[in-house]
C-alpha cells in the first residue's frame, strides 16, 4: 500500500480559495482535501474534475478523534468512508490526536499522552475505523506545543508500536518532525532516523514560524529552509515519497505558490509539476 502514491511526485492540498490554481497545474498527480469539507456524493465541481482527469484525491480527516478515550463515533467513520468512495480515493488519512472528550469539542488537534493506556485506546479506535473503511488508512503524528507528563514512550517508540499493532501506514509530516524536535530541544534528524520510514504512504510539507521561543506549525507561512533540508535527508534515506504542500490561509500569489512547489520538488529530487 505504501506504493499507492509512490509515483505521484509533488502535490498540493485542495482548498476552495486556491481551487483554480490547483486545477491549473498540468503535472499534478495527487491532491488532498479536508474530508469534513466534502459533502458525500456531491464534491465541489473543480475537485470532481480533478478526480475525473485521473488525479488521485486523498480525504484527510480531522474530526475522528482516534486518540480519545471514548470509542470513535460510527457516524463520523461512515461519513469518511462515503467521501472516500465518492472521490475514488486510494486511501484516507487521519491524525494521532484527540479532538473531543466528555462530549466537548476542542476545535483543535490535541496530543495524545504517550502511555500504555493511550496506546490501547488508539489501537481500539483505529481497528474499529479500519473495519468500516473501504480503503487503507494512514496516520499523521501531529505537531505539539507540549507533551503530557509521565510519558512511557518516546514519540518514535509510541508511533512504531502503534503502526505495528494496527498495520496501518504513516503520513509523515516533515514539518511536524522539525517542529516537535525543535520544541523539545532535540535534533530533528535524530527523530527522523528513529521513525518507521518504511511505512510512509505519503508526506506533508508545510511552513511555520517561531513565536515566544516555540516553533508553530502554521500552514500560513513559507516552508523554511530547515524543513526543505529534512526533505532532502528523507529522500536520501528512501525512494522519494509523494510530497504534499499544505497551505491553509494567507495564500500568496500564484507565482510564489509555484516557486514553493518547485522548491519542495527540488529538495526531494522530483520533477516540478508547474
The percentage of residues in the chain with a pLDDT greater than 70, rounded to a whole number, is: 99
pLDDT, position 37: 96
What is the Cα–Cα distance from 107 to 109, expressed in whole angstroms?
A: 7
Considering only CA atoms, which of 248, 196, 206, 211 is closest in space to residue 231?
206
CB 258 within 8 A of CB 252: no
Residues recorded for the chain? 274
Tell me which residue of 239, 228, 238, 229 sits closest to 261, measured CA to CA: 228
Gap between the Cα atoms of 23 and 162, Å rounded: 36
pLDDT digits (tens, 9 = 90+) for 39-86: 998 999 999 999 999 999 999 999 999 999 999 999 999 999 999 999
Close Cβ partners of 144 (under 8 Å, ≥ 6 residues apart): 111, 180, 183
CA distance 223 to 154: 26
> What would the 3-class secondary structure string for the chain be?
CCCCCCCCCEEEEECHHHHHHHHCCCCCCEEEEEHHHCECCECCHHHHHHHHCCCEEEEECCCCCCCCCCCCCHHHHHHHHHHHHHCCCCCEEEEECEEEECCEEEEEEECCCCCHHHHHHHHHHHHHHHHHCCCCEEEEECCCCCCCCCCCCCHHHHHHHHHHHHCCEEEEEHHHHHHHHHHCCCCHHHHHHHCCHHHEEEEEEECCEEECCEEECCCCCCCCHHHHHHHHHHHHHCCCCCEEEECCCCCCCHHHHHHHHHHHHHHHCCCCCC
Residues 28 and 22: their CA atoms lie apart, in Å, by 8
Structure pTM? 0.95
**What pLDDT sits at residue 2?**
56
Contact yes or no for 223/264 (Cβ under 8 A): yes
Residues 207, 204: Cα–Cα separation, whole Å? 10
Place of cell 486545477: 23
Give the residue among 201, 72, 46 at the shortest CA–CA distance from 137: 201
Which domains does the chain show, CATH number per domain? 10-268 (3.20.20.150)
Stretches in the chain below the pLDDT threshold 70: 1-3, 106
Q: Rounded to an integer, what distance in angstroms lies between the CA atom of residue 86 and that of residue 10? A: 23
Amino acid at each position: 500500500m505504501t506504493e499507492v502514491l509512490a509515483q505521484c511526485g509533488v502535490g498540493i492540498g485542495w482548498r476552495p480559495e486556491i481551487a483554480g490554481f490547483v486545477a491549473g497545474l498540468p503535472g499534478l498527480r495527487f491532491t488532498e482535501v479536508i474530508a469534513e469539507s466534502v459533502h458525500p456524493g456531491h464534491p465541489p465541481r473543480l475537485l470532481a474534475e480533478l478526480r475525473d482527469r485521473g488525479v488521485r484525491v486523498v480525504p484527510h480527516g480531522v474530526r475522528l478523534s482516534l486518540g480519545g478515550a471514548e470509542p470513535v463515533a460510527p457516524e463520523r467513520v461512515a461519513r469518511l468512508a462515503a467521501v472516500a468512495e465518492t472521490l475514488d480515493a486510494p486511501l484516507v488519512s487521519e491524525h494521532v490526536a484527540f479532538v473531543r472528550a466528555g462530549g466537548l469539542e476542542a476545535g483543535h488537534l490535541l496530543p495524545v499522552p504517550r502511555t500504555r493506556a493511550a496506546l490501547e485506546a488508539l489501537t481500539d479506535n483505529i481497528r474499529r475505523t479500519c473495519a468500516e473503511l473501504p480503503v487503507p488508512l494512514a496516520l499523521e503524528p501531529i505537531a505539539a506545543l507540549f507533551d503530557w507528563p509521565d510519558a512511557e514512550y518516546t514519540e518514535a517508540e509510541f508511533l512504531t508500536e502503534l503502526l505495528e499493532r494496527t498495520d496501518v501506514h504513516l503520513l509523515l509530516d516533515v514539518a511536524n518532525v522539525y517542529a516537535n524536535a525543535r520544541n523539545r530541544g532535540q535534533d530533528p534528524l535524530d527523530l527522523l532516523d528513529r521513525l518507521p520510514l518504511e511505512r510512509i504512504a505519503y508526506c506533508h510539507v508545510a511552513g511555520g514560524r517561531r513565536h515566544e521561543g516555540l516553533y508553530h506549525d502554521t500552514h500560513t507561512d513559507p516552508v523554511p529552509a530547515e524543513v526543505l533540508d529534512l526533505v532532502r535527508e528523507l529522500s536520501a534515506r528512501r525512494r522519494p515519497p509523494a510530497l504534499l504542500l499544505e497551505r491553509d490561509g494567507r495564500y500568496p500569489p500564484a507565482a510564489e505558490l509555484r516557486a514553493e512547489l518547485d522548491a519542495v520538488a527540488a529538495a526531494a529530487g522530483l520533477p516540478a509539476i508547474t
